Amino acid sequence: MERDRKKHWDLLLIGGCLLLSAILFTFSYLTSGEGAGVIVRVNGEEVERYSLYDNGTYELNGGTNTLVIENGAAWLSHADCPDSLCVKQGKIRSNGQVITCLPNKLTVTVYGSEESEVDLIS
Amino acid sequence: MKASKLSILSLSVSLAMILSFVESQIPPLVAIPGVKMGLANIAVVFALYKMGWKYAAVISGVRVFLVGLLFGSAVSLLYSTAGAVVSFLCMVLLKKTGRFSYTAVSVAGGVMHNMGQIAMACILMSTNILKYYAPFLILSGTLAGIVIGLLSAVLVKRINVKV
């Protein structure tokens, strides 16, 4: 009886966590659209914006990370940190997607075509 | 403090540190910052059930501090402290209710550890990346928590220490 009761609460908590992540995944899938460009932030400060339609390779943050933009997708091709997790995060192209480099406190966020103005004000 | 208590406490701290080190040597499965197994939490959950929350708090705190000092940086120390504090408080509270098993307590610990870390990242970088990473981190925290919870349950049942 005691065991069954515990199981009930366990299922509620674990199921709740899984459900919550499923809802959040669905939400971010539904709200994502085609990206217009990327915003590069270092320490939360916006340092640069690049359009996703202009192909190019850019050195970010004084050369700690290298950003590549090609055919509407952006990715980091090089990082000076030991784990290079940001490079492994791969390509981003949809509105709201982020690449984060924690050691260099750098983020690359995709913004959508409608969102860009709102973002400028905030 | 009795010598036996002190030695079991130190043994648990070193076990937690070894587990942290072993984990740092395993290449990440998914390229998302913050996603990990949380092997060191086995020692914390074990201590929480066998020795009480005060011992577990010492193990978790000393482990975070020493691992940050030895293998990490000032920034990584901030991330892991935020994660460890939130996760620990949550596990202690859930255990106190008496309604949850090891697995559920460790799932809550795993999820909250990730949330604490991402919250700290948002504060440090003053950027809202929470929205994008939250679903990944909740899912990975849950899965890792289940594994760690099952392992801890086995240890709590098999290892006989009286403190």
Instruction: Give A98→chain B minimum CA distance, Å.
Output: 7
Q: To the nearest whole percent, how much of chain A has pLDDT over 70?
A: 89
Residue A53 to residue B48: CA distance in whole angstroms: 54
Give the pLDDT confidence of A87-106 residue by residue, as tens digits: 988 899 898 899 998 888 89
- Chain B residues at the A interface, defined by Cβ less than 8 Å, are 28, 31-33, 73, 75-76, 79, 94, 99-101, 103-104, 107-108, 111, 121, 124-127, 129, 131-136, 138-139, 141-142, 146
Confidence class of residue A2 from pLDDT cuts 50, 70 and 90?
Answer: low
Most confident of A30-34, A68-72, B141-145: B141-145
pLDDT of residue A121: 47
Q: Hey, are the CB atoms on A88 and B28 less than 8 Å from each other?
A: yes
pLDDT of residue B128: 79
Over chain B (163 residues), what is each successive 10-residue block's mean pLDDT?
86 93 86 89 94 94 93 87 96 94 95 94 84 93 96 91 70
Residues in chain B: 163
Within 10 angstroms of residue A103's Cβ, the number of other Cβ atoms is 19
Instruction: Give A9→chain B minimum CA distance, Å.
Output: 6
The domain spans of chain B are 3-158
Q: Hey, are the CB atoms on A90 and B31 less than 8 Å from each other?
A: yes
- In A, which residues are within 8 Å of B73 by CB distance? 103
pLDDT of residue B30: 84
Of A10, A89, A103, the CB nearest to B75: A103
- In B, which residues are within 8 Å of A107 by CB distance? 125, 127, 129
Token couple for B118: 């991402």
| DSSP characters over chain B | --HHHHHHHHHHHHHHHHHHHHHHHSPPSSSSTT----TTHHHHHHHHHHT-HHHHHHHHHHHHHHHHHHH--HHHHHHHHHHHHHHHHHHHHHHHHT---HHHHHHHHHHHHHHHHHHHHHHHHT---HHHHHHHHHHHHHHHHHHHHHHHHHHHHH-----
pLDDT of residue B163: 66
Q: Hey, are the CB atoms on A44 and B125 less than 8 Å from each other?
A: yes
Domain B3-158 has CATH 3.20.20.80: no
Predicted-complex ipTM score = 0.86
Nearest Cα residue to B101 out of B45, B159, B141, B37: B45
Confidence class of residue A114 from pLDDT cuts 50, 70 and 90?
Answer: low
- In B, which residues are within 8 Å of A83 by CB distance? 28
| DSSP structural state of residue B28 | P
Q: Hey, are the CB atoms on B138 and A20 less than 8 Å from each other?
A: yes
pLDDT of residue A116: 45
Residue A118 clears pLDDT 70, i.e. is over it: no
On the CB side of B62, CA atoms within 13 Å amount to: 18
Q: To the nearest whole percent, how much of chain A has pLDDT over 90?
A: 50
Residue A111 to residue A94: CA distance in whole angstroms: 8
Average pLDDT, chain A: 86
pLDDT of residue A117: 46
Return the number of CB contacts < 8 Å for A and B. Answer: 90
